[in-house]
Chain A
Amino acid sequence: MKPNSMLQTNSPAGQIRDLVELYFQDLQAFGLLASHIRPGQESFEGYIVNHIANINSLIQGAEEHYNLTPDNKLRPILYNYRSWPENTPIAGYYAADSPIKYSHLLATYVGNWQNEFSHGPSYSRLLRAALWMWHNSGLKHSLNYLFDLQKYGYFTFSESIEEVIALLLRSQAPGKNDQEIIAAYFGDKMPASNSDWLEWEIKELDQPPSSFDLTKVQPVLESLILETVEELDRIRVLSTTEEWLLDQAAAMLRCRHLLRLCNRFFEKQTVVLKSILSQFDEIGADGGIYRWYQHRPKFAPLSSPMTMQIAIPLGSFRQKLGEEGEARLYQERLLYPSVLREQVEQSDGRKLPLEWSIVPPRLLWPFAMSINHGYLDPAWRTTLFTSEQIAEVPEVKIFFESIGITSQKDRIQILNEVYLQKIPDRWKTGGGPGVKLPQEDENHLIDILQKSHRSLCLRELIEEGLHKFYATSDLGEKERILKRLHGLYPWNSAVHLELSIFYDESENLKLAWDHILTCILLDVNNIQGWRSLSVILNRLGNVDDSKLAWAAYTVLNERMKK
């Protein structure tokens, strides 16, 4: 995973490849999060058509004219049947002189996901790749590779990873060596060339499951378990929001799989094994937080899972362990990274720095189209308005009049519960029941609030924000407005565009670069964004990439004029 500052060390700072890498992080995120909450067909298509399709053309253009090649050696690779270079390994990890390009990998991602939508879990693709890895690097590396495929979002049916691992473990027949076992999948012949690997049919194994060699399985699972424990420690010290969100999501799945695999294979477990598996159980179960998003109203800010996950268990741990509570919670579970420990301790897990309390803007699309069930609002606000403010919106007033609620106090009380989602005061103080809406009216109010909230947001963002920004020439005022908008509307492409231009003009190229990348990730059709990207690339001294970005800008501009 690349860190947030995308500047390469061995080439001029700022390249188109940085944008492409961010898109691949985006793809990774979609596949990985979709493994937690499967998107519907519509959300999936929305993600591909509105977000990925244009990048595909950019990548192909860059590969053709500018020799764009991938760089990230941590990234696992996987074949596809539509476009794969000849004589190239079908699996493994990206290597420096490989003919594999971004466009090949993109084809794999989209091909896999579409295949899953049409046919369900893709056991055969996984198995083929796993067997190749096993043959080339051994069983342990093959299983780690499968977990990496999951982490990098290549498959969205998490159970397929688990089933293939179980199958490989069960095929450890006593008295047979690795090569014999692998060859058995191909009718007792070992594929030789890359095209053999790609094309030979995989046969069902007819050996009964009970005849596998547990003494061979044990050391493999043991090292997977120990490596997972080390991985959890590694994740806890991550310090960027995107890395945290993704690696946490991957770890929850990995823990769940290992727990189930161990329970399948080991009936008798030592105390220490039970202790580790018990921890994996808790961490895996914490993945349930993603299911909460479907219950949240559309106007609610897109908060990060962390904001909902910490306070309650922290309270329980403190109750049981007193001062040691936070330390234990931090270590037992994977709920927040070490950089946030002080904040968590002091705020009882209720208040986090803004950056951590929201879904990172660079992951907006994959998160919204999977976990948030396809609903995405570029004008999402990081906090709600006050009940008093929303009560003033005409549609809201009309609604209350129509159901006969005239007292401002009653209206505010209802809005506190329905809009702000506060726990009713009467639950805490045992006071009078107050006003309660029948369900039908409440649903109606929620719809109205959605529209009202959004109209307030658009007014604040556009009229009071961007228009004022354009109208003033005072730099201090401009900066003040932008910072305010950034804090309230971090998922808005126009805000990032203006921030990028502002920093470019103030000669802070690093920040200008960061913001223009975010701008385009948030809206790949932001024409001015592409223009600015080209300008900034030029300023960074990267003339070729600047031309490429200008070409993209021109194409989009032409398309819009038609």
Chain B
Amino acid sequence: MTSPLIVSLQTLLEQTQTEPSQKNLTGNIRAIEDLFSSENRKTLDRFFQGAFVFLGFHPGVDTGVTSYIRSGSLSSDAGSNLLVLFTLDSRIPSPVALRNQSFEKWMIVDTAVHPSYTLIRSMFKDPVTLNFPGIIFLEDLLQNQNPVYVHILAPSDENAVRQQMRQLFALADKAYQLSVESQKNFLDLLALSLQKERIDYERGSDISAREWLINAFRFIRARSGDIVSIVNLFK
């Protein structure tokens, strides 16, 4: 049994992109823009083989989602082919044990302008139709793509959230594996399987994931927050 840790995405990216022999006075530290530069493309590809999920929720309102994350099963539910990201109310400069992290600071934010909602809306031409909270699927962090968004149905109910997340993660995992075998687009395959299961979803506009992520970092950091993932110290 290993402890889940909350880690900033920036920390994870920094760690994958430098060979030990190239360490200098600043170690692996890089500005976000540098991490996503074209020189780093190869190392970014090495960073994580799989698809990405961004979870947009309001900790004070969507209490079921918050409890679900706190319960610690998120990273094992997502499996090894999906990396789940979400926004947090404070900077996470070093990995923090999940149990020690509170979500309190953003509890008081007005629902209409919660940062994570704004980030998701920015992927859509007509965001008014979106229902929150929800999760967005990306095939990687660099390329142009049309993300897939699914609304979380019963955000105050932890068990309902868990069930729905597990179902969605399972579908995404299958779609990913199929996309690798068949060389077809992951998001298209995911959309198809959601249709088959009669799960409502929205398709985002053609966005550059790289630009979106850089802007997301800037936006969140300006509000003293961070984009984080939950990882285990040991596999």
Contacts and interface: CB of A to CB of B under 8 A. Distances in A.
Contacts of B100: 230
B14 A275 contact: yes
A313 B34 CA distance: 19
Given A272-B233, A275-B12, A276-B94, A320 B31 contact: yes
A235 to B, nearest CB: 13
Given A222-B233, A222-B234, A331-B93, A320 B15 contact: no
Given A226-B233, A331-B93, A275 B11 contact: yes
A327 B224 CA distance: 12
Contacts of B156: none
Contact of A270 (B24, B25, B47, B231): B231
B170 interface: no
Contact of B26 (A218, A266, A281, A316): A316
Contacts of B16: 271
Interface in A245-304: 266, 268, 270-276, 278-279, 281-282
A72 to B, nearest CB: 27
Query: Quick one: which of B3, B27, B235 has the most chain A CB within 10 A?
Result: B27
B231 to A, nearest CB: 5
B97 interface: yes
Interface in B1-40: 1-3, 5, 7, 11-12, 14-16, 24-31, 34
B232 interface: yes
A321 to B, nearest CB: 5
Interface string B179-195: 00000000000000000
Query: Quick one: which of A270, A324, A328 has the most chain B CB within 10 A?
Result: A270
Interface in A317-331: 317, 320-322, 324, 327-328, 331
A321 B31 contact: yes
Given A271-B231, A322-B31, A332 B93 contact: yes
Contacts of B50: none
A229 B94 contact: yes
Nearest to B27: A282
B95 interface: yes
A331 B233 contact: no
Interface in B174-232: 231-232
A229 B94 CA distance: 8
Contacts of A331: 93-94
B27 A278 contact: yes
A321 B25 CA distance: 13
Nearest to B31: A321
Interface string B62-98: 0000000000000000000000000000000111110
B15 A316 contact: no
A222 B235 CA distance: 12
Contacts of B47: 271
A222 B34 CA distance: 31
A281 B15 CA distance: 13
Given A322-B31, A324-B31, 5 more contacts: A218-B2, A222-B234, A229-B94, A266-B234, A278-B15
15 contacts: A218-B234, A226-B3, A226-B97, A230-B100, A272-B12, A272-B95, A274-B15, A275-B12, A276-B94, A312-B25, A320-B31, A320-B34, A322-B31, A324-B31, A327-B93
